Structure 1
């Protein structure tokens, strides 16, 4: 990965029709130091030095004992650390770029069978894939679908906040840091009545337990917050590996990766760090990354001793409010999967994702897919566009 590659990759991420922070080079390049990323490749459609599409894949056996292998967007790193796997495709002729990406897999030595995990079930990419399959010999089988939490700007009118807006101190680099907002207004109008009442009860409970009003701090430009976050995360159940905890401090490589990712996004002004505190105590810290103009949740941690008052839910509500009041992002994807039903209730929208198995080329791949029950070909709706030739795919 040369510097020229990295710059072209970054331009693609900025211009993608469906932003995906988990394929942003600032998130993925630092992963090379983690052993789970061994075997991961970035497949690229390139033309005249510009990246038109990119996808991270590893290879795996289709099933135990099967001789056929597939290229998958999952793998040892992407499955646990990336909640969205869809490719980056540049604005323009999306169908042509996506077709070249999938059909070009075999030209760079990858299998003709591709497993696309957590692919959006609606939107520009879904329509482009349907049309690409309709125009080519490719076959698609839907293996699974899930509904995830989502927040669109249009769905969440952000209330005005009367808190102070002038800076009250300087960060470690001499930049101004906004004053904390006492008793911040939280965007809860989209919630059910009982959810709004529960939120207010939890806020009052936290204020009683800590002896002070709830405060919101924007720590985005302050790198010292990273230490506070790491300490907070390891102090709770995530610091206990016997309970399944995976706090970053438990693994030096994971901690270094976190520091490098946050440093890269902070340097570009694409990091949002929200801290909730009361009575001089930190209750919750959350990290949001911005890529392609959209915002995505990364990590958060809460003070476990106050768990009865749901500081995590209060923090995520404050974070969502901050995203739409402090940025112009069209949407916020908290990156929750379907298991977190309680946390998902905070967010106003839902988005469906599907796991797909695609036979891109080759008789063997198509034969395997036809043997799968309910294998089917996706059909485009009424979209019909001319698809010119595009550049070659490479890894």
Structure 2
């Protein structure tokens, strides 16, 4: 058993078994796919801060890949350094931060990984930022930490749309309309379905033409037109803190990223169009049999019809009806503007592990007890008890 800590910039030159683990992990993660991270190294100076932990069995088989940086974690006045899933690159472009764990025995893979993070040359704390609390990878990490007697303390929690599986959906054909997709989405509340249909029809009336679903996966102009549309609105205005990729100088990165996934047929670009006018565009990538939302934008002239929301429903159906894709992750982080579109809400949390050291483990256990006691007092005070 070995755990190697490697700079991301070195790892993307080639790691034996990484491609295979990306395809076969118990829960895929497109943001740990080498195709994604190679383009980050090429275009984001912040990638220099990222390290990968690579866990291998004695046979040499790669069973875990985990990305992290060295960053302080805030513990009420204290800021110890941690091997943390945060940092400028991760916060900017990696909404999913769970490790890749081998499907055969994910708990063993998690134990190897956490044991590696306890190495002396790493911080004594590990922080998992915005990590899903449920799922096979989360369960394996929780059990592994317990087996290794690593204290754990949750710093914050939130809920976000989770991985969506909708089996047996009809394919999205050339003549399929967005309103057809509302009827095909079984989990939508009746009020949500009615509002979506109203917005679709209102948008069609505004455009003077029916809405079309256009698949542009293989169109070499699609990414440039996406970038143009994104920059045309407030995101393209630096005076309004716009963060369009053209504004922050990352248009070449998105182009290279799209090429990396399109070469293997793992890029999805879906456009909502009416009367020759592009209303919204959504991009997604495929990795390990799952689809992951990457970026979307819309024409702000039609903002009152919520075109971004409307196209997310289209993107959901287009992803889940692709051959070989059985799940879709909307990758929304803390955003809550489209909760009604997805059937499952997943709890997420930021938590800290004390991976080694008697002093560190004792301190985290004491901090966790004090935090629980303080929370209990606040609840009791709020209820008037």
Cα deviation digits, residues 217-255 of structure 1 (max 9, x gap)? 111111210111000000011101222210011133x22
C-alpha separation in 1, matches of 2:27 and 2:370: 26
- Decide whether aligned partners of structure 1 residues 192 and 235 sit closer, same or farther in structure 2, where only a CA change above 3 A counts: same
- Decide whether aligned partners of structure 1 residues 199 and 159 sit closer, same or farther in structure 2, where only a CA change above 3 A counts: farther
1:135 pairs with one of 147, 151, 155: 147
Aligned pair 1:99/2:80, yes or no? no
Pairs within 5 Å for 1:267-278:
267-278=263-274
Q: Which runs of 5+ in 2 are unaligned?
A: 1-9, 372-385
- Alpha-carbon distance, 1:3 to partner: 6.8
- Aligned twin of 1:40: 50
Cα deviation digits, residues 349-385 of structure 1 (max 9, x gap)? 1112221101111224313312323389xxxxxxxxx
- Partner SS state of residue 87, structure 2: coil
- Decide whether aligned partners of structure 1 residues 217 and 162 sit closer, same or farther in structure 2, where only a CA change above 3 A counts: closer
C-alpha separation in 2, matches of 1:43 and 1:89: 12
- Alpha-carbon distance, 1:111 to partner: 1.2
Q: TM-score, normalised by structure 2?
A: 0.86
Q: CA RMSD in A?
A: 2.3
2:26 pairs with one of 17, 34, 37: 17
- Superposition misfits of 4+ residues, deviation over 6 angstroms: none
Aligned pair 1:349/2:349, yes or no? no
- Alpha-carbon distance, 1:86 to partner: 0.9
- Aligned twin of 1:209: 206
- Decide whether aligned partners of structure 1 residues 351 and 8 sit closer, same or farther in structure 2, where only a CA change above 3 A counts: same
- Aligned twin of 1:199: 196
Larger relative contact order (C-alpha < 8 A, sep ≥ 6)? Answer: 1
Deviates more, 1:200-209 or 1:297-306: 200-209
- Aligned twin of 1:369: 364
- Decide whether aligned partners of structure 1 residues 93 and 108 sit closer, same or farther in structure 2, where only a CA change above 3 A counts: farther
Number of equivalences: 357
Is the Cα–Cα contact under 8 Å of residues 45 and 54 in structure 1 kept in the other structure? yes
Is the Cα–Cα contact under 8 Å of residues 184 and 216 in structure 1 kept in the other structure? no
2:216 pairs with one of 215, 219, 226: 219
- Alpha-carbon distance, 1:93 to partner: 2.1
Is the Cα–Cα contact under 8 Å of residues 284 and 315 in structure 1 kept in the other structure? yes
- Aligned twin of 1:28: 37
C-alpha separation in 1, matches of 2:310 and 2:133: 30
- Decide whether aligned partners of structure 1 residues 343 and 244 sit closer, same or farther in structure 2, where only a CA change above 3 A counts: farther
Aligned pair 1:359/2:328, yes or no? no
- Partner SS state of residue 17, structure 2: helix
Is the Cα–Cα contact under 8 Å of residues 124 and 354 in structure 2 kept in the other structure? yes
Cα deviation digits, residues 79-112 of structure 1 (max 9, x gap)? 2321111111111222222111111124372112
- Aligned twin of 1:111: 123
C-alpha separation in 1, matches of 2:37 and 2:165: 27
- Alpha-carbon distance, 1:139 to partner: 1.2
- Aligned twin of 2:93: 81
- Partner SS state of residue 264, structure 1: helix
C-alpha separation in 2, matches of 1:162 and 1:103: 49
Aligned pair 1:265/2:272, yes or no? no
- Decide whether aligned partners of structure 1 residues 108 and 330 sit closer, same or farther in structure 2, where only a CA change above 3 A counts: farther
Q: Which runs of 5+ in 1 are unaligned?
A: 165-180, 377-395
Is the Cα–Cα contact under 8 Å of residues 26 and 101 in structure 2 kept in the other structure? yes
Is the Cα–Cα contact under 8 Å of residues 163 and 184 in structure 1 kept in the other structure? no
C-alpha separation in 1, matches of 2:318 and 2:304: 24
C-alpha separation in 2, matches of 1:375 and 1:126: 25
C-alpha separation in 2, matches of 1:57 and 1:306: 40
Q: TM-score, normalised by structure 1?
A: 0.84
- Aligned twin of 1:55: 66
Is the Cα–Cα contact under 8 Å of residues 172 and 321 in structure 2 kept in the other structure? no
- Partner SS state of residue 345, structure 1: helix
Cα deviation digits, residues 250-303 of structure 1 (max 9, x gap)? 133x22221111111111111111011000100111001111111110001101
- Partner SS state of residue 84, structure 1: coil
- Alpha-carbon distance, 1:35 to partner: 2.3
